[in-house]
């Protein structure tokens, strides 16, 4: 079984880079083809959010803004808890191709956890609830005494 760390796709789009850039980096664009609504603060370190009527939400932290060629952000990994610090990095690269654009998207970091860190992360996680609940019990015991 191969464990994919990185996903890469390239497509030729029959529209100029400026149009593709707008679709990728404006609330109107992101909220149309990707999410069902979106907000974006377009600058490195800025936040963007896409929402769906199902209640799902994707929160992105923008890392690279080099109009109209590179747009990069990080976001959480589907299926992990919201507060999990692990995120994947998504980078869109736009290159003129004739009258259109060659758009490449690379998402990396799916296998970012290393052999030696996962035991630690894991043990931290399993101890987490047991520890919190233990403290709650101690607290309740103390106020009851």
- For residue 108, the Cα-to-chain-centroid distance in whole angstroms is 10
CB of 145 to other proteins, least distance (A): 26
23 binds other proteins, rule: CB under 8 A = yes
Number of residues this chain uses to bind other proteins (CB under 8 A): 42
**Residue 141 and residue 45: Cα distance in Å, rounded?**
45
4 binds other proteins, rule: CB under 8 A = yes
103 binds other proteins, rule: CB under 8 A = yes
53 binds other proteins, rule: CB under 8 A = no
CA dihedral over 79, 75, 57, 22, signed as positive or negative: negative
**Residue 4 and residue 106: Cα distance in Å, rounded?**
12
44 binds other proteins, rule: CB under 8 A = no
User: What is the pairing mode between strands 6-13 and 100-108?
Assistant: antiparallel
Return the structure tokens found at 100: 């259109």
> Could you say which of 83, 85, 99, 115 contacts other proteins (CB under 8 A)?
115
Q: Which residues bind other proteins (CB under 8 A)?
A: 1-5, 7, 9, 11, 13-15, 19-20, 23-24, 29, 32-34, 77-80, 84, 86, 88, 103, 105, 107, 110-111, 113, 115-116, 118-119, 121-123, 125-126, 130
């Amino acid at each position: 079984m191969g464990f994919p760390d990185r996903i890469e796709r390239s497509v030729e789009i029959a529209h100029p880079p400026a149009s593709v850039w707008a679709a990728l980096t404006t609330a109107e664009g992101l909220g149309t083809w990707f999410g069902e609504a979106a907000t974006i603060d377009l600058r490195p370190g800025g936040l963007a959010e896409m929402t769906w009527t199902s209640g799902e939400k994707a929160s992105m932290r923008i890392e690279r803004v080099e109009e109209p060629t590179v747009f990069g952000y990080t976001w959480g990994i589907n299926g992990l808890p919201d507060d999990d610090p692990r995120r994947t990095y998504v980078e869109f690269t736009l290159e003129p191709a004739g009258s259109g654009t060659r758009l490449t998207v690379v998402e990396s970091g799916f296998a970012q956890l290393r052999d030696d860190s996962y035991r630690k992360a894991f043990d931290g996680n399993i101890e987490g609830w047991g520890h919190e609940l233990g403290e709650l019990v101690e607290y309740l015991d103390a106020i009851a005494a």
